[in-house]
């Protein structure tokens, strides 16, 4: 299970350090792709395969399902951690998350997310301000 919040920087070559705590859970290969809310999603291969199974069940006759799957898979990339604990993010992913220098890597149960520091600060401040209301609304699910 991924949890915690870690601040790192991305270098000019698109290399980002993955927290050691996460590397232990990820194994030798994992997938990073576009996420929601302007961040990136990272999945260990086992979670990625589980997600693929669910996505493969989406109805092809639904335009939104086709669009989501195309967008989600088109930027997906298999990553390997180098000897310094870094991965190399491709430009389309960096652009999607608006990452310039500062990054925040956040554990979210079966995946981790990579945020630009600015977007994470904005999201985090909003979530903190509305946390009680968000929690209350979830009870209806």
Range of the domain at 127: 2-138
Residue indicated by tokens 């790192």:
8
Assess contact for 115 and 106: CB atoms under 8 A.
Answer: yes
pTM above 0.95, yes or no: no
Banded model confidence at residue 118, pLDDT cuts 50, 70, 90: very high
Name the band, by pLDDT with cuts 50, 70 and 90, for residue 136. confident
User: pLDDT tens across 71-112, in order?
Assistant: 999 999 999 999 999 999 999 999 999 999 999 999 999 999
Number of domains in the chain: 1
Please, what's the b/e burial string for 62-75 (b: 16 or more CB within 10 A of its CB; e: otherwise)?
eeeeeeeeeebeeb
Region 23-50: mean pLDDT is 95
Distance (Å, whole) CA 26 – CA 43: 8
* SS percent in the chain: helix, strand, coil, step 5: 40, 30, 30
CATH number, domain at 38?
Answer: 3.40.1550.20
Residue 33's nearest CA partner among 93, 91, 81, 106 is 93
């Amino acid at each position: 299970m991924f949890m915690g919040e870690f601040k790192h920087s991305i270098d000019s070559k698109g290399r980002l350090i993955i927290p050691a705590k996460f590397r232990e859970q990820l194994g030798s290969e994992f997938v990073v792709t576009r996420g929601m809310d302007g961040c990136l999603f990272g999945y260990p291969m086992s979670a990625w395969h589980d997600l693929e199974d669910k996505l493969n069940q989406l109805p092809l006759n639904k335009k939104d399902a086709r669009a989501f799957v195309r967008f989600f898979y088109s930027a997906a990339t298999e990553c390997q951690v180098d000897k310094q604990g870094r991965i190399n993010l491709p430009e389309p992913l960096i652009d999607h998350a608006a990452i310039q220098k500062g990054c925040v890597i956040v554990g979210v149960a079966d995946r981790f997310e990579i945020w630009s520091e600015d977007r994470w600060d904005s999201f985090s401040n909003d979530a903190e301000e509305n946390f009680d209301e968000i929690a209350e609304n979830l009870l209806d699910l």
